[in-house]
């Protein structure tokens, strides 16, 4: 299994999902080797064996590297389609292209690549080097199935498949359309589509995401299976916190980016504050809209009732839920959305956008269109004001999320593993 992050070092829901799924798989007697670019050594390995890609030698010899490049001729994110060339000219151009790849990656033998494992400016280079190391890991270990999480690891999954011949499952937690709307980064889109095309099966975290994969990436529907995410109940606890303010608290927790709809949260907060002052709003997270959000709050004149905490993780997230009276996720496009499940698990009623995958499995969260600021404000005000509405939402919501276990999701994933293995065996026999 290839992933980019794993608790406790996470930047969002992807690492949390990887943790929950691997624990669920362990209960179904599935052994997982989890490869990440840069492991710190403090990851929970009770359900997985962590492989730190930064500790793996990609190539011992030049011959080994050349053998790989014969099998894996896709590491540069460029098109191999060159129009108006005859067969001989095309072959010559491709030879030049492979030599360019060789030079670009500056392959060093017997050495290791040190990955940051972050999402920085050299991300694309790390993604490609990760694919090179993945090929070495695939040669060194025995396994049955390759499972790659999101676009960052697609190339690693493809490299491992080319080297080993094992079936590849691509797990799509979000697409470029979710992150940017229609203004997609073509390079990321190409990586996503290559992974989907090379996969033997694609797992989508919601029907919403499945439809995007089929319609935007032109993948055959039979290849795409929905497996909804879940929530980990093993760490549920009664957490008592001392509140420093008398007002009720409404919380937004997530990346402060276009995808998560922070501007709609702010506009709805302004409307609620016109009706009651007995409330404070917390925006917990970081992102490219962080400073813009602060300026909008200041311009609306609600900064005395609005707090920005920055990015939270681990115990701070649990404490934030313990402080909260209402949780809001007004995402413009949310493939799934684990945080409302975590909030409801903590006894906090949730308001979610209808444009989220988690809306497919929740009946006892209040659902609004992300753009309907009036409906969002009404839902906030209702949960803050009417105790009967709040109590009913909390009680039934807790029962509902209690049924969404990673064990169930893992059982579906194990069935997918079985299916691709059977298909692979049939193809081998043919």
State pLDDT tens for residues 216-228. 999 999 999 999 9
Residue 129 and residue 216 in one domain: yes
Give the pTM.
0.82
Q: Indicate the pLDDT class of residue 98, thresholds 50, 70 and 90.
A: low
Do 80 and 184 belong together in one domain?
yes
Distance CA 410, CA 399 (A): 20
Partnered with residue 253 across adjacent β-strands are: 284
Q: Is residue 156 domain-resident?
A: yes
Question: For residue 364, what are the contacts with CB-CB under 8 A and spacing of at least 6?
Answer: 344, 393, 396, 397, 399, 400
Based on the domain organization, do 147 and 282 belong to the same domain? Answer: no
Is the pLDDT reported for residue 80 higher than 70?
Answer: no
Please check whether residue 111 lies inside any domain of the structure. Answer: yes
The Cβ of residue 300 has, within 10 Å, a number of other Cβ atoms equal to 14
Taking the alpha carbons of 73, 75, 81, 84 in that order, is the dihedral positive or negative?
negative
Q: Based on the fold, state whether residues 339 and 322 are members of the same structural domain.
A: yes
Domain of residue 252 covers 248-402
Averaged pLDDT for residues 153-158: 94
Domain count along the chain: 2
Q: What is the pLDDT of residues 164-204, one digit of tens each?
A: 999 999 999 999 998 887 788 888 999 999 999 999 999 99
Instruction: Read off the pLDDT of each residue in 266-274 and give the average, rounded to a whole number.
Output: 98
Residues 23 and 46 in one domain: yes
- For residue 123, the model assigns a pLDDT of 81
Same domain, 207 and 74: yes
Can you name the residues that pair with 2 across neighbouring β-strands? 35, 148
In a domain, 191, yes or no: yes
What CATH code is carried by the domain that includes residue 306?
3.40.50.2000
| Residue whose structure tokens are 């949730």 | 350
Same domain, 368 and 422: no
Q: Is the pLDDT of residue 83 over 70?
A: no
Going by pLDDT thresholds of 50, 70 and 90, the confidence category of residue 89 is: low
**3-state class of 243 per DSSP?**
coil
Q: Which pLDDT tens digit goes with each residue over 39-60? A: 888 888 989 999 999 898 876 6
Question: Which residues are CB-neighbours of 256 under 8 A, at least 6 positions away?
Answer: 262, 283, 285, 286, 287, 288, 289, 290, 293
pLDDT tens digits for range 343-375: 999 999 999 999 999 999 999 999 999 999 999
76 pLDDT tier (thresholds 50, 70, 90): very low
**Listed residue (50, 213, 59) closest to 133, CA to CA:** 59
273 and 195 in a single domain? The answer is no
264 in a domain, yes or no? yes
Do 307 and 419 fall into the same domain? no
Q: Around 330, how many Cα atoms within 13 Å sit in the side-chain half-sphere?
A: 30
pLDDT of amino acid 179: 83
Average pLDDT over residues 308-328: 92
Same domain membership, residue 35 and residue 157: yes
What's the chain's average pLDDT?
87
Whether 67 and 169 share a structural domain? yes
């Amino acid at each position: 299994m290839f992933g980019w992050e794993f608790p406790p070092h996470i930047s969002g829901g992807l690492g949390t999902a990887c943790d929950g799924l691997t624990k669920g798989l362990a209960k179904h007697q599935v052994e997982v080797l989890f490869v990440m670019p840069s492991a710190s050594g403090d990851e929970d390995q009770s359900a997985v064996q962590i492989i730190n890609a930064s500790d793996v030698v990609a190539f011992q010899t030049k011959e080994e590297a050349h053998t790989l490049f014969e099998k894996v001729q896709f590491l540069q994110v460029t098109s191999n389609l060159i129009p108006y060339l005859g067969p001989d000219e095309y072959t010559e151009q491709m030879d030049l292209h492979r030599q360019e790849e060789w030079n670009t990656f500056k392959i060093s033998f017997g050495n290791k690549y040190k990955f940051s494992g972050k999402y920085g400016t050299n991300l694309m280079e790390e993604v490609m080097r990760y694919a090179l190391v993945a090929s070495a890991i695939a040669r060194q270990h025995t396994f049955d199935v390759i499972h790659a999480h999101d676009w960052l690891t697609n190339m690693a999954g493809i490299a491992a498949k080319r080297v080993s011949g094992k079936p590849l499952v691509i797990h799509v937690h979000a697409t470029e359309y979710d992150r940017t709307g229609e203004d997609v980064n073509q390079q990321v889109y190409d990586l996503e589509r290559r992974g989907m095309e090379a996969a033997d099966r694609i797992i989508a975290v919601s029907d919403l995401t499945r439809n995007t994969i089929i319609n935007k990436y032109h993948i055959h529907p039979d290849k795409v299976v929905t497996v909804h995410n879940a929530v980990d109940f093993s760490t549920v606890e009664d957490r008592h916190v001392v509140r420093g303010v008398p007002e009720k608290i409404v919380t937004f927790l997530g990346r402060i980016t276009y995808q998560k709809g922070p501007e709609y949260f702010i506009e709805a907060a302004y409307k609620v504050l016109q009706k009651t002052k007995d409330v404070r709003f917390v925006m917990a997270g970081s992102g490219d809209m962080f400073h813009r959000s602060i300026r909008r709050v200041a311009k609306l004149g609600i900064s005395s009732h609005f707090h920005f905490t920055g990015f939270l993780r681990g115990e701070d997230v649990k404490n934030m839920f313990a402080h909260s009276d209402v949780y809001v996720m007004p995402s413009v496009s949310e493939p799934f959305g684990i945080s409302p499940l975590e909030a409801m698990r903590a006894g906090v009623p949730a308001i979610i956008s209808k444009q989220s995958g988690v809306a497919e499995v929740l009946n006892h969260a209040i659902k609004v269109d992300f753009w309907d600021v009036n409906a969002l404000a009404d839902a906030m005000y209702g949960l803050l004001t009417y105790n009967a509405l709040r109590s009913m939402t909390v009680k039934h919501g807790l029962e509902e999320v209690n049924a969404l276990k990673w064990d169930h999701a893992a059982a579906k994933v194990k069935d997918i593993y079985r299916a691709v293995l059977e298909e692979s065996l049939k193809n081998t026999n043919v």
